[in-house]
Amino acid sequence: MSTALKVALVIFTAVLLQVSVVARLPVFGVRGDIVMLVAIAAGLESDAEHGAIVGFFAGLTFDLLLDTPVGLSALTYCLVGFVVGTFHNAMLRTTWWIPVLVTMLASALGVLIFEELDAVIGDATVDVARLPAIVAVVSVLNGLLSRPARWALRHALSDSSHATDRVFLRHRHH
């Protein structure tokens, strides 16, 4: 299976879970945003380029279902994936909580970027008074789901065809 197809499957799964589960279970009247988590996980598991590309396509897919200007989530997730991917090499991975903390901080950044872009466009769909609750809910939910999301993106972005070729060649020569 190609890398693009595996990533598309992860994006589709995240969007499906977002609209069928997360959107129906608001916490303190706030809905989480696990589609943003796909961009963050791509940046953590790869680099800035993959984080931005995955973020753009995840956001664009989600934008088609939202009542916000098309491209707003795509631009937001693209920026967040790029920022996380830019700094992923500088992060220490010796402890389990560093990627979780980075996910939570990136989620907060993503909510703030979305709100600012929304205000600039003039649509202002985000209630600024609810912004602290939105940041908290999205950050905590994405932090809790960080590990499975990173696992999914790690496997989606890995080039398993080369691994299969190496195993095949190793057995053939012995």
Domain at 163, CATH number: 1.10.1760
Q: Number of structural domains, the chain?
A: 1
pLDDT of residue 140: 98
Sequence-distant (6+) residues with CB within 8 A of 68 are: 118, 123, 125
pLDDT of residue 92: 55
Sequence-distant (6+) residues with CB within 8 A of 5 are: none
pLDDT of residue 88: 76
Measured over all CA atoms, what is the biggest interatomic distance in the chain, rounded to whole angstroms?
A: 67
pLDDT of residue 170: 44
Rounded to whole angstroms, the Cα distance separating 95 from 165 reads 33
pTM as predicted: 0.88
Per the DSSP assignment, residues forming a β-bridge with 30 are 27
Residues of the chain with pLDDT under 50: 162-174
Q: For residue 23, give its domain range.
A: 3-173
Provide the H-helix boundaries in 46-96: 48-63, 72-87
pLDDT of residue 161: 53
